[in-house]
Amino acid sequence: MKQAFLKFGKDDSLRRYHPWIFSGAIHHFSKQPEEGEVVEVYAAKQKEDRKGFDFEYIASGHFQIGSIMIRVLTFEHEDIDQDFYERRLASALQMRKAVGLVGREDSTSFRMVHGEGDNLPGLVIDVYKKTAVMQAHSVGMHVDRFVIAKALKNVMGEDLENIFYKSETTLPFKAELGQENGFLLGGSTDDIATENGLKFHVDWLRGQKTGFFVDQRENRSLLQKYSQGRKVLNMFCYTGGFSFYAMRGGAELVHSVDSSQKAIDLTNANVELNFPNDPRHKAYAEDAFKFLDRMEKGAYDLIILDPPAFAKHKDALRNALKGYSRLNQKAFEKIAKGGILFTFSCSQVVTKDNFRTAVFTAAAQARRKVRILHQLHQPADHPINIYHPEGEYLKGLVLYVE
């Protein structure tokens, strides 16, 4: 196994079990590794006579060209093989069982692996009924995809029949891996899953993420409790998750908006699955900002703003915060008196404080009195590694607007 040797003093974060090693921390390699290859990492330790350095093992991880050059898989001397992945996957499954997400008849969807949160950086696995949709966000996890698939099947047994690999849009572009989506196990086309008793189609081939946003499960349930008798606007609806929860909650009407016609078609299909021929729902394929501009003030008294990530890297943070302020200001200006706003950010580089400041700025500019009812976050099957606070990506606020 090839070795990476760190510069002196660049091992502090690893001593605190942070799973990323940046390119600037590396002094040299024993031999240049291939992308996706597992390398051993050695920290520089000054000799007692202060004449030179010794090196001691500190971690092993996947090498990848880029700013984050090594994603740490283990801080112990162990082989990264099928047994390793089976142990990590078994641990991830046990946690989901502990929080009551496995084996439920009313919910057949959950996140099985959440990257660094499950000590498997670069890997995401969502389960829908007996199908697992696997995404690699690093070259290393792509290289190991077949080993991981075997390990996953061994861990889940009869509860798993299909593994669909979907990493065409998540792998580093510069790696030029040319990966296409496809089944690694099985090939079932049964795409209907359930969440809290509601049904939804999962488009794991063309849909965003793994086909459905399972991270909003608890927040959708909360929305349902506030929907009775309200006129609901679901912006950036994607597949309509918030919409059919609002309908079950007794909403007077529900309007879904997304710029993608495919998303609108899927939203309509999901609403029809749960509330066939229900006249309360209408969907619009339209730009969110244009829709908010043209809509009448007071037309809705419950609005959901769940946009895609406005910032995927730190360089885009400033413009992202402006975007969140502008979007929320429009909602504050148009929402009815006594209305409730569910507003979210899924941008990892946007902190809770960043997001709150952007929303508070929007409220002030709209000159509305606003109170916080709830502060929302990602659910238990999207755990945050205590040593990797960057994993807290989903932020949300439920606001009462006078």
* Residue 189 vs residues 111, 163, 182, 297: alpha-carbon distances, Å: 20, 11, 12, 44
Tokens of 335: 């929402």
Positions annotated as catalytic residues are 346
Instruction: Indicate the DSSP class of residue 115.
Output: G
Find the helix or strand (DSSP H, E) in which 240 lies. Answer: none
**Phi and psi angles of residue 158, each rounded to the nearest 5 degrees, phi first:** -70, -15
* Residue 232 vs residues 33, 162, 250, 303: alpha-carbon distances, Å: 54, 37, 10, 6
Q: Let me know how many helices (H) and strands (E) the chain has, helices first.
A: 10, 20
> Which residues partner with 199 through β-bridges?
194
Instruction: Indicate the DSSP class of residue 390.
Output: G
Tokens of 396: 């949300």
CA 208 – CA 162 distance, rounded (Å): 19
Beta strands at 53-63 and 38-46: parallel, antiparallel or unpaired: antiparallel
**Phi and psi angles of residue 66, each rounded to the nearest 5 degrees, phi first:** 145, -175
